Amino acid sequence: MGKHRAPIAPSTAHPWLRKATAGLSILILLATSLGGGAVYAINSLGKNINAIDTSDLNNQDRPETVVQTDTSATNILIMGSDSRAGSNGSYGNVEGARSDTTLLVHIYEGREAATVVSIPRDSYVEIAGCTKLNGGTSQPYTTKFNAAFAIGGPICTIKTVEKLTNVRINNFVVVDFEAFKKVVDAIGGVKVCLTSPAYDPIIPGVGGSGLNLPAGYSNISGEQALAFVRARESLGDGSDLGRISRQQEFIASMIRGMMDKGLMTNPAMIYRVLNVVTSSITTNPEFASTAALQDFALSLGSLKPSKINFVTTPYEIIEKGNVGWTEEANDLWSALRMDKPWPEPVVTASASPGASTSPSATASATPSPTTTSITAAAATCTEGNG
């Protein structure tokens, strides 16, 4: 089986399937909408934020972390839950919840650049011992990564990520289907570009997302957006890895759309977005306050979309279609622990001697062909398709 650092090649059946993950929308929305003079709006929304107890994390040895300041390196785990509870029941009768999407976001010291690592849900790894959602405890065992969320919710997922990577998670955010839809609708939809029609009908007992979009440009609503990022069986190679690629392309388009619509200078839109974000996420108590979110948002004032690098955990396909992490994954985790870029930037011949190769020094380095920035992830429709 082949090994992969970051699978970004487009599907031959659907060339618009490129670059990796959803759920990052929440972090990016907080970073971009709060930083530009809109912090005032959050003060009336703080009571919306849902926090959960994280004391169980202290029952195991955790990786070390630097003292957290407004310029320090920090790690955020973003989990997209596939729970069908409440209004999400229309997406299938599936009990419990799994981490449909998991992103480890490393923001570098100085908070001018970030690396976002997508962790495939089908990664075959050892789940940490956890407190179960229904009481009792589970012992460590090897299975698919997304089982951690089903066993013990976000706390079990964090324990598992820390055990596997030795990277300390400083804060976390959980987003479900309904939250994702509301954010898309709050910004007036997202423009996507397809080089061929996309059709993924819902087949009872089999699957499907209900996606039905023509070739060319479409401005899609929250409901359509959820179908777009969830579609799997009928599109591309049918794998979660292909879906990861489409999700990251969608997030790139979403961010570009927010910038084009002038989100930071539109108070009404800012308020709608913030109201959705704060009422739709679950996080740790330290992060679930207006003061904490305000300080965090302001600390990201210099973080630009072009300096956010998307990668996928280096992997190889193993038996039964599962995903095994390669040795290169260890290099990735080591780089994040040391607050170093990954892969190491290749300094061009035009760079002056001694030029910086820090994560924010993108102008002096050649981007790796196996990673993608938000700018690079832009999709283009062929002439005549829209």
pLDDT digits (tens, 9 = 90+) for 36-46: 444 555 566 66
User: Tokens representing 24?
Assistant: 């990052």
Listed by start position, the domains of the chain span 3-186+264-373
pLDDT digits (tens, 9 = 90+) for 338-381: 999 998 776 655 555 554 455 644 433 333 333 444 443 334 45
Say whether 287 sits in a helix, a strand or coil: coil
pLDDT digits (tens, 9 = 90+) for 246-291: 777 787 788 777 777 776 567 677 777 777 777 778 899 988 876 7
User: With 90 as the cut, is the pLDDT of residue 98 above it?
Assistant: no
pLDDT value at position 82? 63
User: With 50 as the cut, is the pLDDT of residue 384 above it?
Assistant: no
User: With 70 as the cut, is the pLDDT of residue 54 above it?
Assistant: yes
Say whether 174 sits in a helix, a strand or coil: strand
Among residues of the chain, what percentage have pLDDT more than 70?
68
pLDDT digits (tens, 9 = 90+) for 118-137: 899 999 999 999 999 988 99
User: With 90 as the cut, is the pLDDT of residue 204 above it?
Assistant: no
To 10 degrees, the CA torsion angle through 334, 340, 343, 346?
-140
Say whether 376 sits in a helix, a strand or coil: coil
Cα separations in angstroms, 202 against 13, 208, 284, 316: 20, 4, 35, 30
- The 10 Å CB-count burial string (b at 16+, else e) for 156-195 is bbbbbbbbbbebbbbbbbbbbbbbbbbbbbbbebbbbbbb
Tally Cβ neighbours within 10 Å of residue 47: 9
Say whether 7 sits in a helix, a strand or coil: coil
pLDDT value at position 119? 93
pTM here is 0.74
Instruction: Outline where 192-289 has alpha helix (H).
Output: 222-230, 240-260, 267-280
Q: How far apart are the first and last CA of the chain?
A: 38
Cβ neighbours of residue 52 closer than 8 Å, sequence gap 6 or more: 153, 154, 155, 282, 283, 284, 285
Q: Is 3.20.20.450 the CATH classification of the domain at 3-186+264-373? A: no
Amino acid at position 46, single letter: G
pLDDT value at position 13? 25
User: If pLDDT is split at 50, 70 and 90, which confidence band does 63 have?
Assistant: very high
Using CB atoms within 10 Å of the CB of residue 338, give its burial: 0 to 12 exposed, 13 to 18 middle, 19+ buried: exposed
Using CB atoms within 10 Å of the CB of residue 350, give its burial: 0 to 12 exposed, 13 to 18 middle, 19+ buried: exposed
Pick the closest to residue 250 from 347, 355, 374, 122 (CA basis): 374
- Cα–Cα distance for residue pair 161/150, rounded to 1 Å: 15
Sign of CA dihedral 17, 19, 25, 26: positive
